[in-house]
Structure 1
Amino acid sequence: MSGPCPFGEVQLQPSTSSLPALNRTFVWDVKAPKSVGLELQFSVPHLRQIGPGESCPDGVTYSVNGRIDTTSVRIGTFCSNGTVSRIKMQEGVKMTLQLPWFDRRNVSGFSIANRTSIKRLCVIESVFEGEGSATLMSANYPEGFPEDELMTWQFVIPAHLRASVSFLTVNVSNCVKKEERVEYYIPGSTSNPEVFKLKDQQPGNMAGNFNLSLQGCDQDVQNPGILRLQFRVLVQHPQKESNKTYLVDLSNERAMSLTIEARSDTLSHRFVPTCFVCLESWTCSTNLTLTSGSKYKVSFLCDSLTRLRMKGEKTISCTDHRYCHRKSFPLQVPENIFQLPVQLHHFSWKLLVPKEKLSLALVPTQKLQQSTNERGCNTSFSYFVAGTVPGQDLYFGSFCPGGSIEQIRVKQSISVTFRTFKPNFRQEASRQGLTVSFIPYFKEDGIFTVTPDIKSKVYLRTPTLDWGLPPLTSVSWNISVPRNQVACLTFLKERTGVVCQTGRAFMIIQEQRSHAEEIFNLEDQVLPKPRFHHHSFWVNISNCSPVSGKHLDLLFLVTLTPRKTDLTVIIIAAVGGGALLLFALGLIICCVKRKKKEINKGPVVGIYNGNINTQMPKQQKKFQRGRKDNDSHVYAVIDDTMVYGQLLQDFNGSFLQAEVDTYRPFQGPTGDCPPSPPPICSRALTAKLTAEEHPPCFSPESENEPYTFSHPNNGNVGSGKTDIPLLDTQEPVKPADPGE
């Protein structure tokens, strides 16, 4: 149809009552001169713009296209029940209405009027009658916005409400002239229009009506790029935190950032007020990132601050290992972050070290507990430790205060994340405290130092949790056992279930005092039964390259019980003590009798009793006097240097001293280095040694043997026996008298 403008209410021709029950499409193509503006006005309820791939619930869809010379421009696709009340365009409009077969309406729902030139592509008016939100898009979305064009949105906001803008999707093109930007006309602003870049934080907490315009640029012909914008306008009541300002001082921090954002809420059809974070006055957005080196004034536009959260990140790196060696840094959340009225979700430290130059040691203020299914953390926060080496997913696990882990040493760069779980974590924040030190490089992927608590069980699990230990990874636990305690090591399953594609998976259990070790093939062998350890010990687990789905995952338990004294040991000690007492008494008697028989003429070699009856005695009486009354069995102490002088002299004529070994209990450290993975000579348990080989290891003397051993020199020294020896036959036999 054609005719003078305005057309007024547009009717459906022909009427839907005269058409069959089929899906119907009505198209109005209105042409006008370039200087003439056309206005499409939509009846209540207004329209809601939808994006590509979306559909209208009732099946009624409006499509609006404009025109630039001979080029058609898609303004947008709309459904019912929204905020879009009017659309103004120049050079004509093409309007399309799609109705489903069951819709019997006879009105189009819009009118066309003649207006003055708008001197831009289009103007979209959005009217809010109360709280709510609207999502709007640039022309041709998701394709590119027309080159060097201007598009405007007008928002009508009730005076008692506040509006905030947030950009959802932003893409910029390659400009050769001008600059792509957005401009705001904000009520009360003294510098209208307020110009913002597309990447800037957008205004919030605005009172009254305002306009938002998108300005394109002259694009590069060879590589134009795409300018597109999808944004959201939120209208809600002023919030209780709007007038409070918080100072966040990050001027003394380095390589740190802090982000305040909204929690992810489940989708809901009803309106939910959104929280905004604002800098200074009304520069607000749904999320805000603060960086180190500056001070910030932060305020909130939010009805409930529980719907906001914070997350922070800080990098501690070492580029020169000579400078960083042995340096320590505290891992603590800055105090001025805790003063914000928003819950801290997590704070991460990236700890970077030069490859194969330095390693890291984490020492907590309070000993840590590893979180497992059998014993989880019940604190309001925990530490999550993970490797950051590309291609190696090594997660050491979650740890919280109140356990037995004194230190965690890792070979390469890691991240430590402080996570909170309960609102009352502020009361427990004083318990958080972790120190990282740069230490000399070692080849083990991880080493845990564990000192079990007497009153609790200690559950320890291989890193990477349910995903299994990464291939070719080795981890050790240095488990200390107190002097008066016994540690019970228990594995909570019989087999690991790992199937190796290449290599072998081993577990080594090594006593640190005796260095005795046991090796278990984790692919074939059954895990050891519960066993007791009286001294500190190592547990080392080294993985192979497993078959997919057959990973290595081990959980073991360490418990302490008081050491009980064995009754057999007591009896042996008592018998040994009695024998030692008898020996001392005999030695005293010998010394006393020696003084009685001592002669002052030169060195005494021996005393022989000449009164002994040399005749063959009768069977019943071997001696005329009782044994306790005669001295027939008594010899003075023989001076070895006089009797065996020729045997105890070396070539120079000096006397040789006996070699004496004295056992002393081990007083040094119990070992800082974990057992190395195979192969090592001590690991070849089934190999036989040749005549030229030496045994790989030896058993040290037991700690229960506090004796002094005498090893005589090699020589053919004769030995004999007396009929009635003074000492037990288990003692070394005294050489016979050469005169006999």
Structure 2
Amino acid sequence: MSWLVFGLLLVLTAGVSEANAVTVTTGPYTKVTISRPTEGPDCFVCVGEGSAQTCKLRADINQLQTLHVSFNCSRPQDIFTIEINRDFDCSMSCNYGPIQADWSFFQDFKRVFTWDLRFKSSTRSFQLEFPGPGMRQIQSSEQCPDNHTYSILMYLRAGPMNLGKFCQNGTITRIQILWKWRLTLEVPKETTLSQFSFKYSEVVGSVFAVDAVLPRGISNTDFFSASGFPFAYTVMWNFVVPPRHNFTVDFVKYNKPECQGKPVKVIYQQANMAPVEKTPTDEQPANYNRNFSLSLTNCDGKTAGGSSDSGLLLNFRVSVFRGGIPDLCAVDLQNDKGLSLQIEKKNQAELCEIGMDKVVKEKIVVPAGSKVSLSFLDCLKDDLILTATKTIECQNLASCPSVAGTLLTIPLVDSCLPPSLSQVTWVLNVPERGSVELSAPQGSLYQSVPGDQVCDQLLSAQVSAANNFSIGDFCSASKGIIQRIQISSSITVTTSADGNKDLRQVMAPLLNASFNSEIDETLIYTVYPRISTSALIMTPNWPGEMKPDSTLSYIVNVPEDYSAQLLFSNVTFPECLKNHAEVHIQELGSDLEVGFREDEKLVLEHNILKSFYLNMSNCEPEKGIFAILSKISLQKKPGKLLSIILGVVGALLALLIIILVVVCVAVRKKKRQINRSSIYIPKGNVSLPGDVLFPKTRADNDSHVYTSIDDTMVYGHLLQQDLSGPGHFNGHQVDGYKAFSGPVDKTIKDTLYDPTVERGPDKDTYHPFLAPSETFIPSRPRTPLGRLDSMDYEDRRMVDNTLYTFKTPGEPNQMNRSAADPVFCQSLMIILGQSLSWLIQNMRPHMRRICRIYLMVEKMNPVTQRWNVLI
């Protein structure tokens, strides 16, 4: 038999599992007890190590002690309970710190925390404060939702009084307890401890009181009197009633004690009002307002104390509801298909109370196609938020024409609803093998870019795809460039009011939506850039990432006479785990395209001659995001402008050449026809050569035509001004005309200058080919003449001529320059060359720029090459 006992002890000792051994250290005022019921499986708690180890059904660890604790069974948490007790004697002093359950050992065990607090004086009490939302009193058979159950036991001279069981999240905010009490918290096994804590402090007095703050709206809260209520003892409940609320008190359950003296009484007290005394069987206050207190006093019993069976027990209920008359509003959504409304309070602490069909709610949702009655009590316009949601859908494309081209307008909402309509959401459900298209009712769509371009319209629409993935913010504006947006999935379109504006006042449609057949891309933009300004386009969800494995396409329409400049101003490529992130540019009608991947260098600037596609596709990123911001601007094609300029310059050159050729030919022709004779009559009576030998009149003969004229002297002033320099005419006069100094016969003089002599018309007078203003040659100034009646008069037009013909004083010489020397043609060519050089020199910068653009656009057209060589 002794061997059997020894073997049993050896088995028990060997069965101790070192794997669950714990070294437990206790702090000040703390005692730990590990215990189990007497009946149950064989499992012991072992304290100590080696030969000093003892295994029992119960182990105690005192304060400031360290022990090695283990169990000799696999699941001791199913059997043992850990009790952690903290004892505070506040007779001398207390730290009055927060009370909180904290124990790092044996987390999987059932734990019971107890706090014992006491005073030695009966005139001093403790005040226990619970943080919001407070504690809730429950019946003894109930369990708390979080499995954290509190109980309070108060020690009186008549014996212990159980104040009841409590859970978190209730109306009780404070309890005043007499000089000695115990607070207990029970936590079942495998439950994580709550961080709930409460404070305790010292107060003067010996009154047992419970403070409760009743919630807003409609509520029913139960309260229970203590078990073991002493005879002739009083407990008080103080209630805080919300403003504009009424209360009603009902006694749900009343257990009358055995009384021999004064009966049980209930007293109601309100500020500035006389107390009202009632018995538990009387009708209690109903539909009262303002804060109140309820005092319950036990009767005089036969014995010194009561029991749970024969003692006083009271369960009463305090109901709270709103006072006043609510505003009613009947909402009928039966005639507006797919429309639903949502109403909620901005601040739940507001006095506003809302309800639907006589049921108070924190948030009201009026379903689509329903008819309800809403109530608003003490609600201001700014206390509520009203939003609307409209669902537009069709089952298949065959039924979609009924909703094709639907204008997204603000729905009509009943005016009896007090809040402003702050937000409207349209839900567009795409049918199978379909897509949705958005366009502007007027003008084009303008997309907002954070920090760059913002919609300045009254309303803007936030477009989102499935899973609330943002596509962008758009508005309808005259400066927009997006003609339409095609999306392959269902979308939501949301517009919100700025500030306190009411969307019910907006009558204009926001967007035009329609359903079409499916598209190959995830998203397609049709863009018409504006000529006057550049525009920004971006990937969806900018500046965030584009959706993985999605595609985007821009169809950019460029006017015929313009080219497009595409600039990638902000580019972010990811590191791809699967597939590639790509960008492609392709002109419409062309098989050639320019493509880039995330592992290649992207050319940021592109010049495109006509309409083109801009396609982007994202990969499955491993790191980084795919996001691109681009700028599109239009430029006038330089081809036609260059042709016009070249044509004008060529015409001018041709005109100059024609002038030169015609003048030279005319000069040479006249020169061949001129009679190269000259007559000099030194003195005496003279007569004109035609008087005897020539039967013709002066107008019909060539007697007044000079044989030759020195062109250098005729155009010398031009050469002196424009052609000065080495090798050019230096301005010296050669063979200048001198007045005749010999005797002159009066008859000859009178005949020569007789004004009465009849002269024929100046048919042979020289006229230039074009007026000076019509040519590039500067107009020749008038020859400065001296006094015409003086013999000292020198006519430079007669220099170097063989024939010197006199005319009447005071009358300019009439000369025919058709017999000019070839030097005239040379001078004219020099002047034309200088004018052409000046023209080319001034047009060189402009022509160089035009030709550069032209070479780029026209791909080195031969005409342009020749012009570039000329420049």
| TM-score between both structures, scaled by the size of structure 2 | 0.42
Computing the radius of gyration from Cα coordinates, the structure with the larger value is 2
Structure with higher RCO (Cα < 8 A, 6+ apart): 1
More helix by share: 2
